[in-house]
């Protein structure tokens, strides 16, 4: 008798008896004998786990299975132990309740940022000279240029105060005040309003990290305190008096080796 050949497959039958359902999984093979298709049971798989039965069924249908190590390729993996350690430390310290008493998305985001900052911390280290050489060179060039600009500015300021033409081209005049600085720095504005304007035009020099700024005061407009309320008028009067006082003290210091005692100046 010739050996029977044919395709094997898994057949599952379901039978219900007295409110219970019985399933039978049989391994069968189909073959043809004298023109008639017949089935042959090769084994009973009912005692196997459902997952294994499903695996056998799919394998007999032509599906191929390979080990997970061969099916997947790990291209990159990130450590998580240090993250867990930081999270546990924050939990022990009660940091979450310090940030917010109730859980919220905002609190979780803050905790995540704190953890990221701790994890990314790098100890202080000295950079190689070749790496910082361009920055050092640029800093030294700017410092030298600023020193030269300050010396040149001070020389031109002295010429202007002596009534000489320093050969400068001034920008268009602007009206400035303590309220409307027009882009001037606080130091420049303070020097401008405190300048001695008894003789116009008056000149003021303002050193700053990038160089030297020259200011020309060609006109002084006194504010009309009557148009302001009482509080504004008092503030304007105080600022004006202070600027006059500073200008007077500055003029005394420029006249010679004079020691100015503010307490004596303020006596009536």
- Mean predicted confidence (pLDDT) in 21-40: 86
Give 58-83 pLDDT, tens digit per residue: 888 888 887 777 777 777 777 778 88
DSSP code of 227?
G
Place of tokens 């040149």: 152
Asked whether 28 and 9 are in contact (CB, 8 A), the reply is yes
Place of tokens 């007295």: 18
pLDDT of residue 210: 81
Burial of 212 (0-12, 13-18, 19+ CB in 10 A): buried
CA distance linking residue 111 with residue 99, whole number of Å: 8
Tokens representing residue 114 in the block? 């704190």
Nearest to 30 by CA among 3, 4, 54: 4
pLDDT > 90 fraction of the chain, expressed in percent and rounded: 8
Greater model confidence, 85 or 122: 85
Provide CB contacts within 8 A for 257, sequence distance 6+: none
Helix (H) or strand (E) holding 150: helix 129-161
The model's pTM: 0.39
Give 118-132 pLDDT, tens digit per residue: 888 777 888 888 988
Q: Peptide bond preceding 201: is omega within 30 degrees of 0, i.e. cis?
A: yes
Coil vs helix vs strand at 203: strand
Backbone angles phi, psi at 101, to 5 degrees: -70, -35
Coil vs helix vs strand at 166: coil
CA distance linking residue 111 with residue 87, whole number of Å: 9
Q: Rg of the chain over CA atoms, in angstroms?
A: 46
Could you tell me the residue ranges of all domains in the chain? 8-65, 138-265
Asked whether 223 and 236 are in contact (CB, 8 A), the reply is yes
CB atoms within 10 A of CB 160: 19
Tokens representing residue 136 in the block? 């050092």
1 confidence band (pLDDT: 50, 70, 90): very low
Greater model confidence, 255 or 159: 159
DSSP code of 3?
P
């Amino acid at each position: 008798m010739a050996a029977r050949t044919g395709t094997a497959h898994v057949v599952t039958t379901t039978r219900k008896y007295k409110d219970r359902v019985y399933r039978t999984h049989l391994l069968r093979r189909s073959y043809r004998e004298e023109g008639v298709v017949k089935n042959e049971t090769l084994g009973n798989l009912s005692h196997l786990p459902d997952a294994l039965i499903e695996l056998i069924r799919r394998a007999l249908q032509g599906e191929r299975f390979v080990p997970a190590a061969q099916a997947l390729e790990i291209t990159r993996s990130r450590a998580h132990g240090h993250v867990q350690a930081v999270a546990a430390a924050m939990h022990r310290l009660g940091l979450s309740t310090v940030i917010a008493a109730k859980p919220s998305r905002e609190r979780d985001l803050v905790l995540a940022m704190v953890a990221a900052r701790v994890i990314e911390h790098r100890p202080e280290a000295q950079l190689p000279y070749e790496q910082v050489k361009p920055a050092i060179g640029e800093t030294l060039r700017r410092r030298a240029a600023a020193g030269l600009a300050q010396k040149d500015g001070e020389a031109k300021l002295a010429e202007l105060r002596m009534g000489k033409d320093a050969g400068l081209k001034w920008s268009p005049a602007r009206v400035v005040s303590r309220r409307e600085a027009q882009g001037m720095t606080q130091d420049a504005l303070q020097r401008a309003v405190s300048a001695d304007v008894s003789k116009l035009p008056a000149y003021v020099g303002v050193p700053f990290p990038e160089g030297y700024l020259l200011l020309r005061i060609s006109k002084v407009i006194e504010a009309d305190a009557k148009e302001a309320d009482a509080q504004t008028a008092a503030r304007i009067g105080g600022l004006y008096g202070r600027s006059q006082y500073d200008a007077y003290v500055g003029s005394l210091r420029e006249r010679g080796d004079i020691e100015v005692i503010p307490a004596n100046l303020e006596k009536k």
